[in-house]
Amino acid sequence: MNTPLLEVITNIDLFLKFFNNISDLVYLSKVKVDGSYEYMFANDPAKNFTGLTNEDFGRGMTEVLDEHTAQLVITKYDEAVRLGSSLTYEEEMAGPSSGKWGSAGKGVTYFETTVTPIFKESGECTHILAIARDITERRTKDKEIEFVKNQLELVWNSTTDVIYMIDENANFIHVNQAFTEVFGWTEEELKSDRSVSIIPNGYWEDIREILRKLRNGDSIPAYFTKRVAKGGDKVDVLASYSPLYDESGNWGGAVIIYKDVTLQKKIQDQLKESEEKYRLIAEHSSDLIKVLDLEGNVLYASPSHQHILDIDPDHYLNKSFKCFLHQEDMYKIDWLINKIIQSEESASIEIRAAKKSGEWVWIDSVGTPIFDEEGKIVSIITEGRDISERKLYEEKLRKLALYDHLTGLPNRTLFITELKKAMDEAIRTQTKLAVLFMDLDKFKKVNDTMGHDVGDQLLIRFAAKVTSCLREDDVLARFAGDEFVLLIPGLKEEEEVVSIAQRIIESLQEEWEIEKRVFTTTSSIGINFYPPYKQSYKDIIKYADEALYKAKENGRNHFHIYNFEGIADTRSICL
C-alpha cells in the first residue's frame, strides 16, 4: 500500500470518519511478530453484520472467528502478504447475526472481499486492510439467469421434435438432440462441413421460396415435406419456420421445427387397407386420436384421452370436437376440415384442449382424410400430441428476443414492429401518432458515483413511473442504456402528447430513494409527430432523438417538439 493511504490509516479520526460512512464491511488487522493476525478495527457495518465488539480488538482471529472462517481468512491474508499486493475473492457468510460470526443468521450473504497488505519501507508487512462488498443481489441474479438457461437447454434437448437454427446464409447454427436422433448428424459435424444437407433432390425450389418468405419477415406455421437422413433414408416431416432478427430489427436467420410424421404416414396407408388395423393401432397409441365426420362430430376417441386429458373417451362421442376446445381455437376445426376436403391432403393445427380439471393443454393436431372405395372423403382422422412444453419454450424464446431483461419493457426490435403497425394504421385512419425519445439526465453520474446496482434500480423505477403516466395503448420501450422511447398512437390533437409529456416530467420531480441513497434526477424528452407521412420509421425516431438533444441544450428537465422547419419550437416547456 502507498504512503498516503498509510498516513490516512494512522490518522485515527480521519480513518474512523471515512470508513464508518461507507456501506462496505471494513476490517483492519495487525500482523504480529509470529505472523498471526489480530483485529484492530472494524467499521460500523462490519460490526453490525459480524457481531464484533470493541472487546474483540487486539484478539487473534482464531479467538474471534469460527474455525472454518478463520482458516479461510488467514489463508487469504497469507497469500496477499506472500504476493505483496492486493487480492480479491468471493465468500459466503451467514448473517446478519445477533451473536458472533455466522450465528442466528437470516440466510446467506455473498461478499466480494479485497485484501490489501500494508508494508513499511523496509518491506515488513505490518497491517492487513480487508474490504468486503455485498454481492448477494448480483449472485442471486446470476443464479436466476443460470436457472432459466438450464431450463431452456433442458427443453431444447428433451423435446422429441426436431429443432434447429440457421443463420442468414442458411448455415446450421444449433441443432437439438432430436435432430441428431432423427437425421444422424451432430452439431459439430454440421458446423465443420457446410456441404452437409438434409434437403432431398427436387426440393430446392421449395427451399428457395421458404427462404424468400423468411427474409420478408413471414412465418410458415405448417408445411408437409420430406427430408433426408445421414444414411439416405427419407423422413416425412411437418415443418414450421419462424424468422429471427438481430437487435437492429434485421433478419438474421430462422428457427425451424420438424415433427417426424413418417409413422403417421405409414398409419394412414394402413387405415386405407383396413379400419380394424387402424383401430388396433389407435387403441395402443399415446397420441390423442379421433375420427370425425365432415361436420366435425366425434365418431371415435382413443383411450389415450383418459390418460392425457382425464376424460372418458366415450364422453366425446357424437359431440362436436369444438365443444372441447378453447373458445379462440374453435374456428380452427372448421378451417382444418375445409382444408382437407379441398386439398384431399393432410393439414395441421395447434389448439388448446380442455382437461377435466379445466386446465388447457396445447395440442399439435394433424388431420388426415379417410377415403371410401370410390375415392370420396368420408371422415377425417386426427392425431394430436401434447406440445405444452414446446409452447412454453417458444414463449420464453419470444420474450428473450423481444423484451428487455432488466425492466421487462419491449426492446428495440419489438418497438420498431409496433411503430410500423401504428404508422400503417395512422395512414389508414388519417390520424396522428407521436414518438417520444427520453433519457435520464446525468444518469452516468449516478452509475459512476453510486454503482451499477443503484443505476439498475433507477432504470426499473423510471420505467414504472413513466408507465403510470400512459394510456392503455401507448408503448414504452427501452432502446439502450438509459434511453427509452414511447409510442403514442391514435392521436387526434397534438396537445394530448403535451399533457402526457408534462405528466412524465412532473412524476420525476420528487427525490429518489434507492438502497438508502437519496438523490434527484430528471428526464429530458424529445417529441416528433407523424405525419408528415413521408417519414420512414427511422426518420421518426431520428427526429425525436434530435429534439431530445435540443431539450438538453436548453438546460435539461425539458421536453422539446421537433419542427420540420428547424428544431426550434416555442412549445419547449421547463417545469
Instruction: Assign domain 404-574 one CATH number from 3.30.930.10, 3.40.50.300, 3.30.1280.10, 3.30.70.270.
Output: 3.30.70.270
pLDDT, tens digit, for every residue of 12-31? 566 566 677 778 888 889 99
Residue 425 has pLDDT above 60, yes or no: yes
Report d(CA 147, CA 153) in Å as an integer: 10
pLDDT in tens, 103-150: 444 567 888 999 999 998 888 999 999 998 888 888 878 777 777 666
Q: Are strands 37-42 and 288-292 parallel, antiparallel or unpaired?
A: unpaired
- Rounded CA separation 247/412 (Å): 7
pLDDT given for residue 521 in this prediction: 75
Q: In terms of C-beta density within 10 A (0-12 exposed, 13-18 middle, 19 or more buried), how is residue 482 classed? A: buried
Cα separation, 520 vs 341, whole angstroms: 67
Distances (CA, A) of 351 to 163, 315, 326: 20, 19, 8
Cα–Cα distance, 283 to 286 (Å, whole number): 9
pLDDT band at 270 (very low <50, low <70, confident <90, very high): low
CB environment 68-90: b (16+ within 10 A), e (fewer): ebbeebbebbeebbeeeeeeeee
pLDDT at 338: 92
Can you list the alpha helix ranges (DSSP code H) found in 254-329?
A: 262-273, 275-283, 304-309
Give the Å distances, CA to CA, from 429 to 424, 489, 490, 552.
9, 11, 9, 34
Tell which residue, 532, 524, 545, has the closest CA to residue 435: 545
In this predicted model, what pLDDT tens digit does every residue of 276-302 receive, in sequence order?
555 555 555 557 888 889 888 988 888
The span from the CA of 320 to the CA of 331, in Å, is 12
- d(C-alpha 487, C-alpha 565), whole Å: 23
Q: How many CB atoms lie within 10 A of CB 422?
A: 23
Q: Three-state SS for 369?
A: strand
403: left (phi over 0), alpha (psi -120 to 50) or beta: beta
Position 375 pLDDT exceeds 90: no
Reported as half-sphere exposure (CB side, CA atoms, 13 A), residue 282 has a value of 23
In the block, cell 459439430 appears at 188
pLDDT at 195 over 70: yes
Contact (CB, 8 A) for 126 and 31:
yes
**Do 3-134 and 144-260 come out as alike in CATH topology?**
yes
Per-residue pLDDT at 149: 65
pLDDT of residue 274: 52
CA distance 86 to 140: 26
Helix residue spans in 104-158 (DSSP H):
136-158
pLDDT at 353: 85
Instruction: Report the chain's mean pLDDT, rounded to a whole number.
Output: 81
CA dist., res. 171 & res. 43, Å (int):
59
**Superfamily covering domain 144-260:** PAS domain (3.30.450.20)
The pLDDT of residue 103 is: 41
Q: Over 60: is that where the pLDDT of 268 sits?
A: yes
Domain segments of the chain: what residues? 3-134, 144-260, 264-392, 404-574
Output the CA angle 389-415-146, nearest 5 degrees.
40
Cβ 253 vs Cβ 261: under 8 Å? no
Q: Residue 383 in contact with residue 365, Cβ under 8 Å?
A: yes
How much is the pLDDT for 139?
81
Q: Are 380 and 367 in contact (CB under 8 A)?
A: yes
More confident residue, 233 or 492: 233
The percent of residues above 90 in pLDDT, for the chain, comes to 10
Classified as helix, coil or strand, 411 is coil
End-to-end Cα separation, the chain, in angstroms = 50
Least confident stretch, 13-17, 227-231, 256-260, 323-327: 13-17
pLDDT at 275 over 60: no
pLDDT tens digits, one per residue of 53-106: 888 888 888 888 888 888 989 999 999 999 999 999 988 776 544 444 444 445
Q: Quick one: pLDDT at residue 277? A: 52
Contacts of 501 (CB under 8 A, 6+ apart): 436, 525, 527, 559
pTM (2 d.p.): 0.36
Tell me if the domain spanning 264-392 has CATH number 3.30.450.20: yes
Which CATH superfamily is 3-134 part of?
A: PAS domain (3.30.450.20)
CA 304/CA 311 separation, integer angstroms: 9
CA distance 312 to 192: 51
